[in-house]
Amino acid sequence: MGKRKIISEDEFSNMVLPEGTDVLGVAEKMLGFDRVLVKCQDGRQRLCRIRGKMKRRAWVRQGDIVLVSPWDFQFEKRGDIIWRYKRNQTEWLRRKGYLKEY
């Protein structure tokens, strides 16, 4: 068994936009064990977990803009982080009107 290949952030050229029930939010507090407290644009604060596919590929830090997919149950309090936007992507989101000012 060999080492896992870690993909750097530079290789993430495509960008995921919110669709359906997905909401944008800001990572407010790192809680440990892949859990993050996120303030979402719909005015709710959710306890989100970092999706397993993202754990080693993109590091989520406090203040990052993330895409949250609320759970089917407890959708007001819980969700999954499915994408983290880089700095240039957040500027693009602001220009296009997806991201409200915080």
Is 41 within a domain?
A: yes
Which DSSP string corresponds to 13-70? -S-----TT-EEEEEEEEEETTEEEEEETTS-EEEEEE-TTTTTTS---TT-EEEEEE
Is 4 within a domain?
A: no
Is 9 within a domain?
A: no
Torsion of CA 14, 55, 30, 88, to 10 degrees: -20
- The domain total for the chain is 1
Tens of pLDDT, residues 40-53? 998 999 999 988 77
Is 70 within a domain?
A: yes
Tens of pLDDT, residues 23-42? 999 999 999 888 999 999 98
Is 75 within a domain?
A: yes
Is 7 within a domain?
A: no
Q: Tokens 């009107």 label which residue?
A: 97
Tens of pLDDT, residues 1-25? 556 555 555 544 577 888 889 999 9
CATH number at residue 70: 2.40.50.140
The predicted pLDDT at position 87 comes to 87
